[in-house]
Amino acid sequence: MRRALITGITGQDGSYLADLLLEKGYEIHGVVRRTSTLDRSRIDHLYNDPAIYRRSLFLHYAELDDPTTLRRVLLKVAPDEIYHLAGQSHVGLSFEIPESTCEMTAMGTLRLLEMIRDLPKPPRLFHAASSEMFGEPATAPQDEHTPFAPINPYGCAKAFATQMVIIYRRAFGLFGCNGIMFNHESPRRGENFVTRKICRAAAAIKLGIQNELLLGDVSAKRDWGDARDYVRGMWLALQNDQPEDFVFATGELHSVADLVEHAFATLGLDSKKYVRRDPRFMRRIEPQRLVGNPSKARSVLKWNPQTKFADLIKEMTENELSSLSLSPNSHAQL
């Protein structure tokens, strides 16, 4: 039985990765933060299953900014594979808390690399990088050779962490892979992300809970995929014979306006009646033409995204409608 350690297991990607690895017969160890609230809703189905929790799934308290706790977990677990997904991942928020974003996302990754380097048997490492590292690229689509030019603190922190993985791979022979993840969504996406906000608002308006949806720049375009496809790519990257970096993307661009239209049309609503522009939600700097070229992942890993954009947004919107219908007192985040 292979043993995997997942940082950020309670997040969208971490929870889907746990599902995938359990299906493949792994023993899974997840790193969780010790906080005053125990919100583990994305892994409740695993945590509350006595056939899984403390049998093939184990949770450990540790912090990326506390080397002692993280080192203790690594020595205790001795994993074969590490999937490093934790960190402050909200781009807009990174402008408000740039220091903690860099501390968690950049320095946290460096600390982890140092600990792995010192282990008797260094495990294989997957680091979740981001398309935000490209910022405003001169060419499109972007691939593994596109220069990093981040224009927000989150992208800058990810670029540092990604480059450090490459350095440790080359200098110390660590099996470290960077997965350059373009935007990926799912019904488990956090409510502070625009995709979830839109789908939830459409459902809330349909149910009469909410009257309008306030958004920033709806012309902004992104390469949106399904998180479940992308975690499959993470696993495939660590099964490769050699440690390499891979772009995971759909290669298709869709605007926020497209997303709004699909979400509202799913519920038979005319989005023009409910969507309003609000300057509060405009980003200081908006990345342009972020669209990925996943040809390397296709040829080397035999990876292909399986979910279409329209189907993903439809699923997310219907999930929000079902959730809000069961909890009629809930209110969508504006």
- The pLDDT > 70 percentage for the chain reads 95
Nearest to 319 by CA among 276, 268, 267, 274: 267
Q: Rounded to an integer, what distance in angstroms lies between the CA atom of residue 212 and that of residue 194?
A: 15
User: Tens of pLDDT along 160-171?
Assistant: 999 999 999 999
Asked if pLDDT for residue 6 goes beyond 80, the answer is yes
pTM of the entire predicted model: 0.93
Helix (H, G, I), strand (E, B) or coil at 61: strand
Helix (H, G, I), strand (E, B) or coil at 62: coil
* Backbone phi and psi for residue 28, each to the nearest 5 degrees, phi listed first: -115, 135
- The confidence score (pLDDT) of residue 96 equals 85
Helix (H) or strand (E) run with residue 164 in it = helix 153-172
User: Tens of pLDDT along 122-140?
Assistant: 999 999 999 999 998 999 9
Per-residue pLDDT band for 33 (boundaries 50, 70, 90) equals confident
User: Tens of pLDDT along 7-31?
Assistant: 999 999 999 999 999 999 999 999 9
- The confidence score (pLDDT) of residue 332 equals 42
Find the mean pLDDT for residues 143-147: 97
Q: Rounded to an integer, what distance in angstroms lies between the CA atom of residue 15 and that of residue 18?
A: 5
Least trusted range by pLDDT, from 115-119, 124-128, 294-298, 325-329: 325-329
Alpha helices in 173-244 (DSSP H): 194-206, 227-239
| Joined tokens for residue 61 | 């308290």
Q: Which residue has the tokens 């947004």?
A: 313
Pairing of strands 254-255, 221-222: antiparallel
Please list the active-site residues.
130, 132, 154
Find the mean pLDDT for residues 284-290: 75
Asked if pLDDT for residue 299 goes beyond 60, the answer is yes
Find the mean pLDDT for residues 298-321: 97
Find the mean pLDDT for residues 256-265: 97
Q: Rounded to an integer, what distance in angstroms lies between the CA atom of residue 86 and that of residue 128?
A: 9
Amino acid at 93: L
- The confidence score (pLDDT) of residue 273 equals 96
197 against 329, higher pLDDT: 197
User: Tens of pLDDT along 50-90?
Assistant: 999 999 999 999 988 889 999 999 999 999 999 999 987 77
163 against 281, higher pLDDT: 163
User: How does the average pLDDT of the chain come out, rounded?
Assistant: 93
- CA of residue 138 relative to chain centroid, distance: 25
Nearest to 122 by CA among 80, 179, 60, 166: 80
- The confidence score (pLDDT) of residue 37 equals 53
What does 248-297 look like in DSSP terms, one character per residue? Answer: E--S--EEHHHHHHHHHHHTT--GGGTEEE-GGG--SS------B--HHH
- The confidence score (pLDDT) of residue 36 equals 44
**Pair 152, 94: CB distance under 8 Å:** yes
Q: Which residue has the tokens 């490492």?
A: 125
User: Cα torsion at 216, 220, 222, 225 (round to 10°)?
Assistant: 40
- The confidence score (pLDDT) of residue 280 equals 80
User: Tens of pLDDT along 200-228?
Assistant: 999 999 999 999 999 988 998 999 999 99
